[in-house]
């Protein structure tokens, strides 16, 4: 699977661990940065780069990491076709895939240990989308204010 990945300075360390894990698991990862945890950067820039890659079909899935995952998910979800989830637990990661077909995983670099981030990522990757009654609901997301 091809991933687009990005992080701000607060998410750099966790992003690095997860990207390494993804690559070791056989996934292709295009890393949009940042490349430092010491230089302060603006998270929306990275969220938009990753979200555009997913929305345009240049990547199948996305990974975004900031301090809490909240800002990244808000920015990424501004893009049509992107369903970004701030997965703070394995249970949230599983249900976001099963019911919402989430295609961008957002993580909180200041909230999760490396082991927690990897466990969330692995469940998110392994969980299939159920479709069925959920497909109608996912389609409604794209309708905006319908």
Render 59-114 in DSSP notation, one character per residue: -SEEEEEESSSHHHHHHHTTSTT--EEE--SHHHHHHHHHHH---EEEEETTT--H
Tally of helices (H runs) and strands (E runs) in the chain:
6, 5
Would you call 66 a catalytic residue per the annotation?
yes
Which of 66, 79, 88, 106 is catalytic? The answer is 66
Would you call 106 a catalytic residue per the annotation?
no
Which of 21, 27, 48, 99 is catalytic? The answer is 99
Q: So which residues are the catalytic ones? A: 66, 99
């Amino acid at each position: 699977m091809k991933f687009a990945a990005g992080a701000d300075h607060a998410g750099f360390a966790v992003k690095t661990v997860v990207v390494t894990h993804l690559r070791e698991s056989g996934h292709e990862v295009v890393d949009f940065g940042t490349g430092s945890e010491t230089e302060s950067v603006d998270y929306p820039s990275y969220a938009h780069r990753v979200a555009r890659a997913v929305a345009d079909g240049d990547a199948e899935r996305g990974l975004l990491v900031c301090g809490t995952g909240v800002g990244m998910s808000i920015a990424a979800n501004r893009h049509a076709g992107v369903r970004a989830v701030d997965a703070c637990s394995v249970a949230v990661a599983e249900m976001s895939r099963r019911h919402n077909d989430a295609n961008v995983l957002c993580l909180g670099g200041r909230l999760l240990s490396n082991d927690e981030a990897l466990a969330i990522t692995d469940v998110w990757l392994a969980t299939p989308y159920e479709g069925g009654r959920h497909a109608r609901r996912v389609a409604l997301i794209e309708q905006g204010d319908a």
